[in-house]
Chain A
Amino acid sequence: MISLEAHNLTVAYDKVPVLWDIDFELPTGKIIGIIGPNGSGKTTLLKTIMGLIKPASGYVKVFEQDLDEVRQRVAYVPQRESVDWDFPASVQDVVEMGRYRKNSLFRRLTQTDKEIVANAIEKVKLTAFKDRQISQLSGGQQQRVFIARALAQGADIFFMDEPFVGVDATTETAILDLLTTMRDEGKTVVIVHHDLQTVSGYFDHLVLLNTRVIACGPTAEVLTQENLSNAYGGQLTLLSKIQSIIKEKEFPIREKGFEKR
């Protein structure tokens, strides 16, 4: 069964195409890494999947449906640095956000919600810190708060943006254990990751990315010398020349009528 399909996806950031006509499919029930060098479009891909950036062309299907149809089954863990941790909130407050539903503005959290939240906090081993103000947590603990919030959503597929960046050893182990448990429960976890050294230990399946998809498949098949040198071995000079022309003259990336093809 396919958990995610990207079809002819082209995404521009500040008018420069960052992802260029990419196609791939991901399996269900695996820990999947999206890897590639800096500026290869990993985070952009994740944000496009989550509907935060509109693609110039193509589409993404989650569980063979549009994102809006399956939102309840999808959870997002943004980069830790993307928020101000000085915000006046406790660990409990943030994890509770995972139980917010857009159609129930006035609904208070039920007993079930509270149990789910407590359970999510327990799973990331932060129960002792649940009333702690989030600015007083370490980087690793903050990352775990974000993961607990996603867990509280009760989703089937998780998209995490660089969850291993700047975390301590305890957090790394805690996250990895958690990922394994989640996979064993049949969940799919898609992780943007940039550290090549740890790739083979972490992931079952890989998408190797550099503006286009270089390889996609089981980790052992993707991690070949040829693929890696294709992804990391220098920029494509011709491509970057074209990118700068597009930016300068503001050419459209796709002509009219080709947006969905």
Chain B
Amino acid sequence: MNNLLEFFSFTNPTVRTVVLGTVLIAVCSSIVGTYTYLRKRSLVGDVVAHAIFPGICLGFVLSGSKNPIFLMLGAIAAGWIALVLMDAIVAKTKLKTDTAQAFILTFFFGLGTVFLAYIQKSGSAAQTGLHDFLLGKAANITQFDLAVFGVISLLLILLVLTYYKVFKLISFNEDYAASLGYNVKFYRFLLTTMTVVAVAVGIQAVGVVLMSALLITPAATARLWTHKLQHLMLIAGIFGALSGIFGAYVSYAAVNMPTGPWFVVFLTFFALLSIFIAPKNGILSKLKQKRINANKINRENVLKTFYNLMEHGAEQINTQLILEKRSFVPRVLEATLHKLKHQGLVQRKGNIYSLTEEGMVEAKRVVRLHRLWELYLTKRMNYKEDHIHGLAESMEHIITPEIEKDLLKELDYPTQDPHQSKIPY
């Protein structure tokens, strides 16, 4: 508990460095990753993340230190070599993209692991902690790292904002961009380089193994919340930042815990949460829509039954009469009647129910739609009369006023349905 307070009060300068560093890294990867995601290059991100591992080891061997600048240079070089090799494999051999990706990813990662084993055996004191690049250790972020990552992250974010329009165009429709005269190859190169750099920056906090999650998951999660690209980038950044703060906390509170896996746990938590509660696309809102539909169907069916009973001369309508005419679950019927009364469509005197004026209008509308659709099915779609009732039974709840207007026009304002019942207006 003390830990929690100390961490989230941000009074400790080490905590501030770690949190700021992680958040910057996370926001930057999430925003750059938005384009990786939109261009369907998710797996390329994974390849790059794994491929930079030997680069980091080499950077360490050549410079003899864990200075982030050397490690990053090694990482970026390795990432690029991997991508160039991958493209060459696809272009020059019969192998397909997925095969080339699997091949390059495993080869480079294997190479990195060999390098790491060699470095660890050499026994140099500086190498301790190099294996933290595998799964990430946000707590290791120093003031100097922060300065380096900060500058690079801000630069990347600035690039995305500068080229926002072009990146949008290229991600949506490369051929069209080329037809406008844009140098598509250059922008593709720029986007790929930005991805490589974002990955190289991120590995300190997340590690090479899980880095691609930080590129892809925030954007994929944000996609559930919005249809707008600006908002997508913003929301992805927020999810990334939140996961970053929690990841940094774990790294701070539990000394031997790697950050990357926790990062991914939090990201996935947000993703799952979004699958449930996101507007329109979320499971909850779909359930809600289902309930709204069911209620509408019940209400309209009850109103229609009133109309049918009255059409056959019934005057004193009670629940029993309704149930004889049409099967409802009695409890549902009670609830629906209650709701209709509340809405002023039905009135009640003792056990006798009747339609109000408004209720009558609504009941007529439902019956009218049913009969119009039956007529449409027989006249325009050549259905036999004994088939149409069931189809119209569901359509009456779906047809909108606009479609009703078209329907009336197309059928030339008919007065009788195929069963010779009057169509009420």
Of the stretches B79-87, B165-173, B288-296, the one at the interface is B165-173
Given A105-B165, A106-B162, verify A68-B227 contact (CB < 8 Å).
no
B402: shortest Cβ distance to chain A, in Å? Answer: 11
A133 to B169, CA, bound (A): 16
In the bound complex, do residue B180 and residue A71 qualify as a contact, i.e. CB atoms below 8 Å apart?
A: yes
Total interface residues on A, using CB and 8 Å? 29
Q: Which of A29-37, A95-103, A206-214, A240-248 contacts B (4 or more CB under 8 A)?
A: A95-103
State in angstroms the CA–CA spacing of A87 and B228 once bound together: 9
Is B124 in contact with chain A by the CB < 8 A criterion? Answer: no
User: Does A88 contact B232, Cβ atoms closer than 8 Å?
Assistant: yes
Known: A88-B228, A88-B232. A74 touches B179 (CB 8 A): yes
Q: Are B180 and A102 interface neighbours, CB within 8 A?
A: yes
Given contacts A50-B179, A51-B179, A106-B162, contact A78 B173 (CB under 8 A): yes
Q: Does B328 interact with chain A (Cβ within 8 Å)?
A: no
B107 at the binding interface (Cβ < 8 Å):
no
Bound CA–CA A193/B171 (angstroms): 27
Chain B nearest CB from A148 CB (Å) reads: 13
Q: Which residues on B sit within 8 Å (CB–CB) of A1?
A: none
Shortest beta-carbon distance, A158 to chain B, in Å? 11
- Asked whether A94 is an interface residue with its Cβ less than 8 Å from the other chain, the reply is yes
B230's nearest neighbour on chain A, judged by CB, is: A88
Neighbouring B residues of A82 by C-beta, 8 Å:
173, 175
Query: What is the CA–CA distance of A74 and B180 in the complex, to the nearest angstrom?
Result: 8
Q: Are A52 and B229 closer than 8 Å at their CB atoms? A: no
Determine whether the beta carbon of A76 is less than 8 Å from that of B176. Answer: yes
Interface centre among B173, B176, B183, B223 (most CB of A within 10 A): B176
Which among A68, A100, A135 has the highest number of chain B CB atoms within 10 Å?
A100
Nearest CB in chain B to that of A132: its residue? B227
| In the complex, A83 has a CB within 8 A of chain B | yes
Q: Taking A87-B38, A89-B168 as contacts, is the C-beta distance between A102 and B181 under 8 angstroms?
A: yes
A97/B227 in contact, CB under 8 A: no
* CB of A47 closer than 8 Å to a CB of B: yes
From B163, B182, B229, A88 is in contact (CB under 8 Å) with: B229
- Given the known inter-chain contacts A87-B38, A100-B180, A101-B180, please indicate yes or no for A94 contacting B172, CB distance below 8 A: yes
Known: A88-B226, A89-B229. A102 touches B182 (CB 8 A): yes
Q: Can you name the residue of chain A whose Cβ is closest to the Cβ of B40?
A: A84
**Bound CA span A149–B175, Å:** 14
Contacts of B38 in A (CB 8 A): 87-88
B178 close to chain A: CB less than 8 A: yes
Chain A residues near B180 (CB-CB < 8 A): 71, 100-102, 153
| Contact (Cβ within 8 A) B178 A52 | yes
- B166 engages A105 (CB within 8 Å): yes
Residues on B facing A (Cβ under 8 Å): 38, 40, 162-163, 165-166, 168-169, 171-173, 175-176, 178-183, 223, 226-229, 232
What would be 28 A-B contacts, judged by CB atoms less than 8 Å apart?
A47-B175, A50-B179, A52-B175, A52-B179, A71-B180, A71-B181, A74-B179, A78-B173, A82-B173, A83-B172, A87-B171, A88-B228, A88-B229, A89-B172, A89-B227, A93-B229, A97-B168, A97-B169, A97-B172, A100-B169, A101-B180, A102-B180, A102-B182, A105-B162, A105-B163, A105-B166, A149-B176, A153-B180
CB within 8 Å of B: which residues of A? 47, 50-52, 68, 71, 74-76, 78, 82-84, 87-90, 93-94, 97, 100-102, 105-106, 133, 135, 149, 153
